[in-house]
A = this chain, B = another copy of it.
């Protein structure tokens, strides 16, 4: 028996919050974002709904960044860049793994591939500049 899904104002707000930002938020971020307008929102509800959305494929996980899981409402294939310094997550439209790789993994290794993540790590422009400024200061 399938579970009946009911409407909920909080759930709607949570999904909107994720869809309305490009920051690939954590549960905490969503909570803080909505708390002012939904004073009785609880963090548990945010977690429960993030899980709900993920199971239904409305949201996907970008992975754990600096200890917190980050979410993405864009479920069409695209890659990410994650800054090792500030933890910001950015989309990289136009950057894709070679087509046929999933197929190659299946046939060569016998795995049933469902999904593929391509993620780049390094420094974002902002952290890069700060890093350079710091180097200049300390060398003087």
- A111 at interface, CB cutoff 8 A: yes
How many copies of this protein are present in the complex?
A: 2
Flag if B124 contacts A108 (CB, 8 Å).
Answer: no
The interface bits of chain A over 55-86 (1 if a CB of B lies within 8 angstroms of the residue's CB, else 0) are: 00000000110000000000000000101100
Flag if B116 contacts A121 (CB, 8 Å).
Answer: yes
Q: A121-B116, A123-B114 are in contact. Are A95 and B105 (CB under 8 A)?
A: yes
Task: Give me the interface of A with B, judged by CB distance under 8 Å.
Answer: 63-64, 81, 83-84, 90, 92, 94-95, 97-98, 101-102, 104-105, 108-125, 128
CB-defined A-B contacts under 8 Å, sample of 28: A64-B64, A81-B105, A81-B109, A81-B113, A83-B111, A84-B114, A90-B109, A92-B105, A92-B109, A95-B105, A97-B97, A101-B118, A105-B120, A110-B125, A111-B122, A111-B123, A112-B122, A113-B120, A114-B121, A114-B122, A115-B121, A115-B122, A116-B118, A116-B120, A117-B117, A117-B121, A118-B118, A119-B119
